[in-house]
Amino acid sequence: MANGYNQYIGMRYVPIIDGEWSQSKAYEPLVVVTYNGNSYISKTYAPAGTLPTNETYWILAANYNAQVEQYRQEVRQYQDIVETFDDAITTAQGDIDALENSKMSIGDILIERYHGSSETIAGNSAGTTVVVDVSKSGYTCEGVVGFNSNTTWCFPIICEVINNTLQFNYRNLSPNESTFTPYFDLLYIKNPV
């Protein structure tokens, strides 16, 4: 017992970190070196020039290359996920902006009745297609929401709005009738400012 303390004299059991492996150097047991990006620990005395890949003298302590490659793959996967979420967020923000810009109030919607002029249809036949400009300043005609006529013997077989133009054609169910006046309820949406 020296100076009142127990003293152990024997083999070292704490590794020595020695840095990059050197071909000209011999290594004692428990020396950690790096070689080609990985770390190795000497198991026994390794003569000079003994590569750390020689499993008789060395063991692989950490395969940094494989770990780094695994981390790279994980980062790529997370990057793909982040980019997917980023695209989804961008799309959602665009949708939100579009909704914000397209908010309509009750004043933006208008239903207006179109009173047609007297039309002639031969009995049991379809009339010619009538095309009427239904444009309204500051609004776009989106379609027909209702129709009627001053008779009960005819009905529309074509009724649509194309580019602020009402196009309709009626079918006559009575051989004795030939004229009628159509009425259409048209839906207008206020144009964005």
81-93: pLDDT as tens digits: 888 888 888 888 8
Q: How many domains does the chain have?
A: 2
Q: Which residue reads 């127990």 in tokens?
A: 6
Residue 165 maps to a domain: yes
pLDDT of residue 171: 67
Cα→Cα distances 1→4, 11, 156, Å: 6, 18, 117
Query: Would the pLDDT of 153 be above 60?
Result: no
| Beta carbons within 8 Å of 129's beta carbon, 6+ residues apart | 158, 167, 168, 169
Q: What is the CATH number of the domain that holds 183?
A: 2.70.40
C-beta neighbour count of 52 within 10 angstroms:
23
Among 62, 77, 95, identify where a domain stops.
62
Query: Would the pLDDT of 190 be above 70?
Result: yes
pLDDT category of residue 56 using cuts at 50, 70 and 90: very high
Residue 154 maps to a domain: yes
What's the predicted TM-score (pTM) here? 0.39
The verdict on 113 and 179 lying in the same domain is yes
| Beta carbons within 8 Å of 153's beta carbon, 6+ residues apart | 172, 173, 174, 177, 180
Residue 80 maps to a domain: no
Choose the most confident range, by mean pLDDT, from 10-24, 40-54, 113-127, 139-153. 40-54
Give the tokens for residue 30.
């428990």
The verdict on 124 and 180 lying in the same domain is yes
Tell me which of 64 and 127 has the higher pLDDT. Answer: 64
Q: By residue range, what is the domain housing residue 44?
A: 16-62
